[in-house]
Amino acid sequence: MKVTLKTIHLKRIIVLLLFLSSSMLDAQEKLGRPFFTGELNFSLAINEFYTVEPNDGEPLIVPSGLFLRLGFGYEFFKKVAVSVNAGFDDHWNYDTNAFPAYVGLRYNIFERDDEAFFADFRYGKMWRPSSNYPDGNYYGFGLGFQGESDSRWHPVFRLEFHRKGILGFENDRIDSISLGIGFVFF
């Protein structure tokens, strides 16, 4: 068998690629971990029919919307996570629906094992599948808690502020505060 210079270089390149790919995989394990996330939020509003005197039994705060969100991302060093998300928002008190698509940045303020207290920042656009749905920007900020679990599923509880730029509303936007429950699957 005749060994040529080309064959030797090809073998070196293959060995180098195998070495680099194995070291990259090892580095990725130390860097962080991918995750899948989902959440269900209830938006709250002041009841416009509430009266202090006489008390007619109407509550001061009532649910005003339901938000469903799904996404995937990557957590770096158990401190920072970046995710891509999409969702469906139903604001039944305004009779409008929205499809936000956004990028999320999560910073763990305090973490222990897989338990974390975090701040979450979101920015994106309203996706418009037809003219029946609004178009505009989406912003969000929230605080939350990720619980510890023996499995790869971790519960998440959050309090969030949302701002959706929708023409036709006061100041051309809908601002809302929501309480949410969700999960993170690592």
Flag whether 141 is in a domain: yes
Flag whether 106 is in a domain: yes
Label residue 74 by pLDDT band (50, 70, 90).
very high
> Are 41 and 67 within 8 A, CB to CB?
yes
Flag whether 172 is in a domain: yes
pLDDT 10s digits, 84-132: 999 999 988 888 888 999 999 999 999 988 899 999 999 999 887 777 7
In our burial notation (b when 16+ CB lie closer than 10 A, e otherwise), range 47-83 reads eeeeeeeeeeeeeeeeebbebebebebebeeeeebeb
Indicate the number of domains in the chain: 1
Within 13 A of 52's CA, how many CA atoms are on the CB side? Answer: 0
CA–CA distance, 121 with 142 (Å, rounded to integer): 7
CA 117, 118, 122 angle in degrees (round to 5)?
Answer: 160
Closest CA to 82 of 27, 37, 114, 125: 37
pLDDT 10s digits, 138-166: 999 999 999 998 899 999 999 999 999 88
Flag whether 180 is in a domain: yes
The CATH number of residue 43's host domain is 2.40.160.20
Flag whether 15 is in a domain: no
Q: Which helix (H) or strand (E) holds 186?
A: none
Flag whether 40 is in a domain: yes
Task: Please give the residue range of the domain that contains residue 90.
Answer: 32-185
Q: What is the token pair recorded at 184?
A: 């993170």
